[in-house]
A and B are shown apart, each in its own frame.
Chain A
């Protein structure tokens, strides 16, 4: 065991793993986290706590992660390179580890121009890959990024990253994940899979590069709420690939939310069959209530 987190134990046991997402509020109210954690707690193995997602200022992921721990739900703290330099990142990692955080997802972060403070300075002192390497060295060295030894307790973290099989250039995507493995990740969560065919091809390349041997791959999935959301994601959201057939399914549905959940369940059943997929990461943004139903219908908790 590298960090001994629940997520690590479940993944290493070979059980098909389920993670979800919990977005901190744009306010100081702990109740939002407590309520969302209550919904998710008995249905998932761990939950991602986003870090100023889409460059919008929100409650800090470390604080929200701690609130989550207090509710008995294991957090995967997200950390982006956009808002902090290596000094701030390392200090937040030490602090989060001291508060009991055992999983860290290392991301580059969406560009600040996409968020609600477009005039801010983007930091990007590190990128996701040099961040991963730094966190691994803090755990295994244990050393700080500058090479100085961590003489006290080192942060015990199970290290994750994101991968987007739908971004370009496609042939580079598996290679990029291989680079993250080399940098030191233990697990990866992918962008939301709607186009299963392309994801299969990505997984084939990952197996060829030995990626799936060295890190556990969780396929990202999400329930659509409406046909409008399907179209929006297809046309407007960077790095998303929603096939026409899914847009049509959503448009033709009587109960769109129910159909959205069913589409998600169908994707889960398909990706589960792909060699090297160790679990799913359910991204029901601001729709946490859908997660228990998805888990149940997909038979993920038997």
Chain B
């Protein structure tokens, strides 16, 4: 992808992706180093630089690296996919590519293990499900209890995957609140999710 570019800039992002050990300063530097070696082996001329900002999801941080961006023929962003799109927005003439595949909003359940916890569905139900999300964590986004495939706390899709409805059941049982499982939830308003089209949020009273 960068073969035809003389100057490559790897742009790191030092917040979420840094704590996920995927796209912070250190990982951006590692990627740059791998690229340098590969490019040297292929006999490609030019240089690979790095720059890392605190957050690639805000204009002011992207504006601060204008000099480095202008100098590069391509910018590889190691941020979540908001980063490369922010760069495209700020630098409309620049070639930009993602260096990461963004796959979820996760929680660090154990060290080095990230688990999907939220699908940003726009109409949060977890107040009714023991504070545990069945939209992101049930393979069928079920809102009304475990399907017939739940077995020994595992999901029907794989013994590796926990059944989140077992977790919800256990928690509500421990809280003595199994009655809340009797309530019918839904049908869900999917129009509030990405299915209703891309969403924007404005915070009143914070206009510049």
Contact = CB atoms under 8 A, between A and B. Distances in A.
Contact of A130 (B152, B156, B182, B187): B187
Interface in B143-166: 143-153, 156-158, 163, 166
Nearest to A191: B148
Interface string B68-83: 0000000000000000
A169 B150 contact: yes
A111 B146 CA distance: 13
A12 to B, nearest CB: 26
A36 interface: no
Contact of A172 (B143, B151, B152, B169): B169
Nearest to A176: B145
Interface string B35-56: 0000000000000000000000
Chain B contact residues, majority secondary structure: loop
A108 B187 CA distance: 13
A169 B156 contact: no
B114 interface: no
A127 B143 contact: yes
Interface string A35-58: 000000000000000000000000
Contacts of A128: 144, 147
Given A129-B184, A238-B156, A122 B166 contact: no
Interface stretch (B13-21, B87-95, B134-142): B134-142
B146 A169 contact: yes
B104 to A, nearest CB: 16
B107 interface: no
Given A126-B186, A169-B166, A108 B157 contact: no
Contact of A124 (B140, B149, B182, B184): B140
A178 B145 CA distance: 12
A45 B142 CA distance: 32
Given A114-B157, A124-B142, A175-B178, A168 B184 contact: no
A175 B140 contact: no
Contacts, number: 103
A114 to B, nearest CB: 7
Interface in A109-154: 109-111, 113-114, 122, 124-130, 133-134, 145
A130 B188 CA distance: 9
Contacts of A238: 148-149, 151, 156
A211 to B, nearest CB: 13
A127 B181 CA distance: 14
B61 interface: no
A175 B182 contact: yes
B115 to A, nearest CB: 18
Given A167-B146, A175-B178, A179-B144, A130 B169 contact: no
A193 to B, nearest CB: 14
A122 B146 contact: no
A134 B190 CA distance: 16
A82 interface: yes
- B interface residue count range (under 10 / 10 to 19 / 20 to 34 / 35 or more): 20 to 34
A127 B158 CA distance: 20
Given A127-B143, A238-B151, A175 B186 contact: no
Nearest to A162: B148
Given A125-B190, A130-B184, A172-B145, A108 B140 contact: yes
A239 interface: yes
A127 B188 CA distance: 10
27 contacts: A81-B140, A82-B140, A86-B187, A108-B148, A111-B157, A113-B157, A124-B140, A124-B142, A126-B186, A127-B140, A127-B144, A128-B144, A130-B144, A130-B184, A163-B148, A168-B151, A168-B152, A168-B163, A168-B166, A169-B169, A172-B146, A172-B178, A179-B144, A182-B184, A238-B156, A239-B150, A239-B156
Complex A-B, nearest 5 residue pairs according to Cβ-Cβ distance, in ascending order: A164-B148, A129-B144, A238-B156, A238-B149, A130-B187
Given A130-B144, A172-B145, 20 more contacts: A82-B140, A108-B140, A108-B148, A111-B140, A113-B157, A125-B187, A126-B186, A127-B140, A127-B143, A130-B184, A130-B187, A145-B187, A164-B148, A167-B148, A168-B146, A169-B170, A175-B181, A176-B145, A179-B182, A179-B184
